[in-house]
Structure 1
């Protein structure tokens, strides 16, 4: 019987920039919706958003979320990811939408001035802060500190 590595070890790669760089260099900017596309969350998001909101999308990956928001009239959308290959691919894919902004940035240390955004959206990137946790219901002090740091940003 083959022994499987504990989940934390198997998922550790998701917190590594190298993993994402290789993935995005191979796959390019083909849309990847980890938890579902915009339509899955639209009914929850639209009542909370106003067209004039300054929106930040954390860990955008190759999700079409930023573009779909733009197409619905949300003109001030900035998307960040810590993978340069991802950001390059997204800038290229959506070059026809110059109002969309893309930045290489780590969500744990944002470089924007305070109060730059009215809304911060996250659709499956915070989980990378907890990939080494043995039990997601009993998070270590290290994992809790990482989560607090991002949420405070």
Structure 2
């Protein structure tokens, strides 16, 4: 092998600029929609019970790209959906493609800083391989913690955050079980194909005797986030699996 022809570098999956370039190119090549992992057919078994099969349930998709999952859910009866992606090209394409599904909101936003999304709002928050992308970020600890902090913040009281990942549970669970987030893991199991599906709920109100659940949880987040942010900023490529900040048990 000639000098300089070593292993190819992996794409910058953890960078927003990569995805904007990707979706601009995809549109130019005629790509309409694409699912990295699984779609509604494979996820219906877990998502519908979590929504109580209530068509009024508000759903937030984090890092949707040009996945057809929101439109498939719309056609199944779930009309109140918001899809967020950092790529403006992807957002504009999906909004144009779904003009007839007018109640789906398409927002260009960074999932690590969702200033457009209110706190404690969505009964169902779905991440389908967006967390996987942050694992590829050069500063993955910082990226993952900022992403999960926002996912936690926007998930409603009694709601559920669902993450569908190409990673095995032992790679993902330490991050979800970080003590910063008062999540109860209600499911963590292998999915169909080469995926794992994780579902986490903020702890219920009775877990905070004498107080409001959300208030106590937000107080905890506000109190501990500065320290955690400093930690992951100083060590942005750290491996949380070796940290005492998370529980190590697996479901």
Q: Which residue is 2:177 aligned to?
A: none
Offset from partner CA, 1:7-36 (integer Å, 9 cap, x none): xx514x112222211221122261110012
Q: Which residue is 1:127 aligned to?
A: 132
Q: Which residue is 1:31 aligned to?
A: 33
Gaps of 5+ in 1: 134-138
Q: Which residue is 1:136 aligned to?
A: none
Residue 58 (1) aligns with residue 57 (2): no
Q: Which residue is 1:116 aligned to?
A: 121
SS of structure 1 residue aligned to 2:77 = coil
Q: Which residue is 2:95 aligned to?
A: 91
Residue 101 (1) aligns with residue 108 (2): no
SS of structure 2 residue aligned to 1:46 = helix
Offset from partner CA, 1:35-59 (integer Å, 9 cap, x none): 1222121212222122111110110
SS of structure 2 residue aligned to 1:20 = helix
Gaps of 5+ in 2: 154-251
Q: Which moved more, 1:43-52 or 1:77-86?
A: 43-52
Higher relative contact order by CA 8 Å / sep ≥ 6: 1 or 2?
1
How far is 1:152 from its partner?
3.0
Number of positions where the alignment pairs a residue of Structure 1 with one of Structure 2: 144
TM-score normalised by L of structure 2: 0.52
Write the distance in 1 (CA, Å) between the matches of 2:144 and 2:62: 18
SS of structure 1 residue aligned to 2:13 = helix
What root-mean-square deviation, in Å, do the aligned CA atoms of Structure 1 and Structure 2 show?
A: 2.2
How far is 1:148 from its partner?
4.0
Offset from partner CA, 1:65-102 (integer Å, 9 cap, x none): 00011111111100000111110000111011111110
Write the distance in 2 (CA, Å) between the matches of 1:123 and 1:140: 17
**Greater strand proportion:** 2
Taking structure 1 as reference, are residues 30 and 122 closer, same or farther at Cα in structure 2, changes over 3 Å only? same
TM-score normalised by L of structure 1: 0.82
Highest Rg: 1 or 2? Answer: 2
Write the distance in 2 (CA, Å) between the matches of 1:54 and 1:132: 30
